[in-house]
Structure 1
Amino acid sequence: MSNLSDALLYINGEMRPASDNKYFDNTNPWTGESCGKAADATAADVEEAIACARKTFDETDWATSHDERYAKVCKFVEVMLANREKLVEISRLEAGAAIGAAARAQIDGALNGAKDLLVCYKEVKWELDRGVKNEMGFDTKRIVQHEAMGVVGAITPWNVPLYVNVGKVVAALLAGCTVILKPAPDTPLMGSIMGELAIEAGLPAGVFNVITSSDPAMAGEMLTTDPRVDLISFTGSTAVGKLIMKNGAESLKRVFLELGGKSAYIVLDDAPEFARVVMSSMVVFHAGQGCAYPTRLLVPKSRYEESVKMLEMAYAGFADKWGNFEEPTCIMGPVISKKQMDRVLSYIETGKQEGARLLAGGNARPDKGTGYFIEPTCFVDVSNDMRIAQEEIFGPVLVVIPYEDDADAVRIANDSIYGLGGAVFGSTERALAVAKQVRAGALSVNGGMSITGDLPFGGYKQSGMGREWGVEGIEEFLEVKAIGIRVS
């Protein structure tokens, strides 16, 4: 495996090291060893990025020159598309993506989403004519205007870094905001590379800035507490999302949060191709490191034993199909870090202690390499009150829960603090009726795509607030102004 280039800071249009010239290791999850270095930003670097983004928003026409801004963001997306292979390599070495995952959600999903946002931009209405109304004895012409929110702090996770970076950065730039991107310490280069591509695309200096840091909190604390930052767009854990809300309260900062999930995969007893659907529920894609990934399989009690046997076959058949760095069809590699591996393994132990039956997996796999490998794991005989059914594990762990009837399936699906995604399989009308009762932001019926770049994505309950992607995702970065003009 080759090494990656250094991840530098991108501030005011320039790539540069940290002000004290310090770096931290960028670790390859496949090997557990360094695959490059990343600039370790100081508080002074973060301060400079905030000041630069503020000045650029306040003193240039970036927010108001809609056509020119759109053309520049189009060029930015074009350059990202042209660098697809470089982005795939970064996702493989930095995020631990297997080739099959890198070529799908990791990179192509992000790039296709960027193209979708360019199309969605055309649907944004910058000014609406609300007509003339006679009030207080005279006529007033009314206009509703949409304006860029201001300076955006975008704080992104390590699981699908380019996808989330693009969803925030491209949407905010299209809206006319200036942006400071703070990628996760585990995936610094996928943020930094966007600075390099912004230069290549000719994006104006100051509209987009990138800060990389080994400290998971320092830059985020500064962004979320600084009154010069108007909005925080955060994707990550619910616990950190709550802290961001508290930090932003002092300045009444706008906050968009895309947080955790424990999504349900509901298979009704009349699902076409019942066996295939059940077997497809295995949590293996990118080692289960996805916030909207359905990790609770709900199957009817009348077909429970049948489902368990199918899963046993599915996991046995997958045993040699994961953890291969060179295999083009491989979709599951390691988890991101030693810390995450320990977390997932601790949940597996919890599941055993809670009385769930381990059907498959459950072990670390050092024979796969020196990185952070955990077997695809499945628990059956799970009740929804167990911790492994209620808490987000963020690893390759599926829990299987039986239900009595459709109403019981809905009850179990909704018995969660989360409400991000989910899937329902069955005869179309019946499955749609169940999906409409599940309190979550994105529901797939019979395999339909509910998460694409032109659809709004976000959660109910403690899965967050606000929406990313689609027209709604651009509008998250806009203020609304009403203007009344007396005409008589």
Structure 2
Amino acid sequence: MSSVEQEVPADVVTDQRLLIGGELRDAATAYPSVDPATGEVFGYAPDASVEDAEAAIAAARRAFETTNWATDVAFRQRCLDQLHQALLDHLEDLRELTITEVGATVALTKEAQLEGPLAIVRYYADLLKTYDFSEELGSVEYLGQQHRRWVEKEAAGVVSAIVAYNFPNQLALAKLAPALAAGCTVVLKAAPEAPLVTLFIAELIAQHTDIPAGVVNVLSSTDVAVGEVMTTHPDVDVVTFTGSSVVGRKIMKAAGDTLKRVFLELGGKSALIVLDDADYGPIAPYAAFGITMHAGQACALNSRLLVPRKDHDRIVEAVAAMMARVRYGDPREKKTYMGPLISEKQRDKVHGMVERAVAAGATLVAGGEKIDPGFFYTPTLLAGVDPDSEIAQEEVFGPVLAVIPYDDDDDAVRIANNSAYGLSGAVFSGDEQRALNVARRVRTGTLGINGGNYFQPDVPFGGYKQSGIGREMGEAGLEEFLELKSLAITLP
């Protein structure tokens, strides 16, 4: 039974509250949050209604129009400094909550699940010290008179931000920090499967920063109508969403009626290309530990391993041996590398895709098993995968690696680009220039060469094709939330 299907006691007390117009409040109803490592309910979240969402949007609009938030850069920087400090001061509380609700391992909270995202807030607070919100274009003569022209970068307005369950701290802060730095006001909706982490951040904002009432509003809800209001309301100017491509397409259509700006960070089916001159030694740990990071629940993971046909079996054997060393289990144990999937529903989806892959001709080399209690799934390796099959084309969001043989560099590039997605990828080669030549031909938004890591707060992140629209992080992430206003004035 998933977190949104559990029965709720009549006298339930929620662990965190909604943040609307500067006030922490409960909703009329609540729903349970489940520890995916045990399958047991451990807390309750307020279940926001459409009326709550409308109140949050109204508060954000009012704050944008009546406060100095959009115009006072120094004030915004100070508030981001306060938020960063509050996150640091409550780091261990947030760590425990992230482990329990998301199934993140202790080690992962020291990186992408928690401590890494805090650096995003620091990055945007510091960026405000140097970022120029005005650009001079010089003067030009027109009809016998000089005209000075310049561009001012202004806050885009009210932002609806909707996040996924897999990395709630990363996703929330990668939307909140640049939107706030730009001067926007925000309505943030937590993932239904992991609401308490995001609501904890809301509590820190309300109690430990000077961010004005209504600038940040945070909701949790199981009602799809709440998301629909957030993407269609005429007072919302920008929609930013992280999640599946299926939902992303629906949001884009919904936002189209009012021509809102839409930023989408969606799915991926990224390819790790091993060229035939690569040192195969590092490939097995890179591939095995990469796909099992957070039980495969990350859009940018390399879920397709493209290998020279002549070395397919050799590489598969090495990856299988390395997968056997992936320690999974209780995420609270410091030696655990891989925790559970988020829910029974997600585990059933993963298992069904693996079963269909085998039925379609792939070889199950390792894994493919459900482990109870909790929602664990063993690290899974499929060999001899058809590049056109479902398992090679659709996002699994589980610890499943599909090995695909190729014939030459051109064939590898063709298979890598044979996807509706284009989010990430990697290339390994003994010849760096050859690796770069291949990498530049792959239609993807991010890519590592010989183990290179691009994922940092100052690096734009996003994808091509159905992996999304726009970029998060870096200056590009700030500019997603800015409008350009061109001005001119006559000179004496």
Return the TM-score normalized by structure 1. Answer: 0.95
Distance 2:115 2:408 in 1: 38
Distance 1:446 1:256 in 2: 30
Distance 1:142 1:275 in 2: 58
The residue identity in structure 1 corresponding to 2:305 is L
**2:458 is aligned with 1:466:** no
For 1:161, the equivalent position in structure 2 comes to 168
**2:17 is aligned with 1:8:** yes
Show CA shifts across 1:346-376 (max 9, x none).
101111111100000001112xx2x111111
Distance 2:91 2:452 in 1: 26
Report the secondary structure of 1:7's partner residue: coil
**2:46 is aligned with 1:39:** yes
1:119/1:447 Cα in 2 relative to 1: closer, same or farther (>3 Å)?
farther
For 2:424, the equivalent position in structure 1 comes to 421
Q: Is the 8 A contact 1:97 1:331 kept in 2?
A: no
Higher mean C-alpha displacement, 408-417 vs 145-154: 408-417
Task: Mark the runs of 5 or more structure 1 residues left unpaired by the alignment.
Answer: none
Q: Is the 8 A contact 1:98 1:323 kept in 2?
A: no
Q: Which aligned pairs between 1:212-361 and structure 2 lie closer than 5 A?
A: 212-215=220-223, 217-272=224-279, 274-282=280-288, 283-318=291-326, 321-361=327-367
The residue identity in structure 2 corresponding to 1:13 is G
Report the secondary structure of 2:447's partner residue: strand
**2:395 is aligned with 1:392:** yes
Distance 1:326 1:149 in 2: 41
Return the TM-score normalized by structure 2. Answer: 0.95
Distance apart, 1:312 and its partner CA: 2.3
**2:219 is aligned with 1:211:** yes
**2:109 is aligned with 1:79:** no
For 1:379, the equivalent position in structure 2 comes to 382
Distance apart, 1:120 and its partner CA: 3.2
Report the secondary structure of 1:106's partner residue: coil
The residue identity in structure 2 corresponding to 1:253 is K
Report the secondary structure of 2:342's partner residue: coil
Report the secondary structure of 1:432's partner residue: helix
Distance apart, 1:323 and its partner CA: 1.2
The residue identity in structure 2 corresponding to 1:313 is A
Distance apart, 1:420 and its partner CA: 0.3
Report the secondary structure of 2:484's partner residue: strand
How many residue pairs align between the two structures?
477
Distance apart, 1:301 and its partner CA: 1.5
Higher mean C-alpha displacement, 284-293 vs 432-441: 432-441
1:279/1:449 Cα in 2 relative to 1: closer, same or farther (>3 Å)?
closer
Distance apart, 1:449 and its partner CA: 1.2
Distance 2:466 2:285 in 1: 29
Distance apart, 1:5 and its partner CA: 6.9
Distance 1:190 1:122 in 2: 29
Q: Is the 8 A contact 1:256 1:466 kept in 2?
A: yes
**2:461 is aligned with 1:457:** yes
Show CA shifts across 1:131-161 (max 9, x none).
1001233221101000000000000000001
Pairing partner for 1:109 from 110, 116, 119: 116
Distance apart, 1:431 and its partner CA: 1.3
Show CA shifts across 1:296-324 (max 9, x none).
00111132121011122112333xx1113
Pairing partner for 1:442 from 443, 446, 453: 446
Distance apart, 1:423 and its partner CA: 0.9
Q: Is the 8 A contact 2:381 2:401 kept in 1?
A: yes
Report the secondary structure of 2:31's partner residue: strand
RMSD over aligned CA atoms reads: 1.5
Q: Is the 8 A contact 1:26 1:36 kept in 2?
A: yes
Report the secondary structure of 2:368's partner residue: coil
Distance apart, 1:252 and its partner CA: 0.4
Higher mean C-alpha displacement, 241-250 vs 276-285: 276-285
Q: Is the 8 A contact 2:33 2:41 kept in 1?
A: yes
For 1:53, the equivalent position in structure 2 comes to 60
Task: Mark the runs of 5 or more structure 2 residues left unpaired by the alignment.
Answer: 1-12
1:365/1:356 Cα in 2 relative to 1: closer, same or farther (>3 Å)?
same
Report the secondary structure of 1:313's partner residue: helix
**2:409 is aligned with 1:406:** yes
Pairing partner for 2:149 from 129, 142, 153: 142
For 1:486, the equivalent position in structure 2 comes to 490
Distance 1:124 1:246 in 2: 33
Report the secondary structure of 1:264's partner residue: strand
Report the secondary structure of 2:382's partner residue: strand
Report the secondary structure of 2:96's partner residue: helix
Q: Is the 8 A contact 1:232 1:256 kept in 2?
A: yes
Pairing partner for 1:183 from 181, 184, 190: 190
Show CA shifts across 1:41-61 (max 9, x none).
111111110000000001111
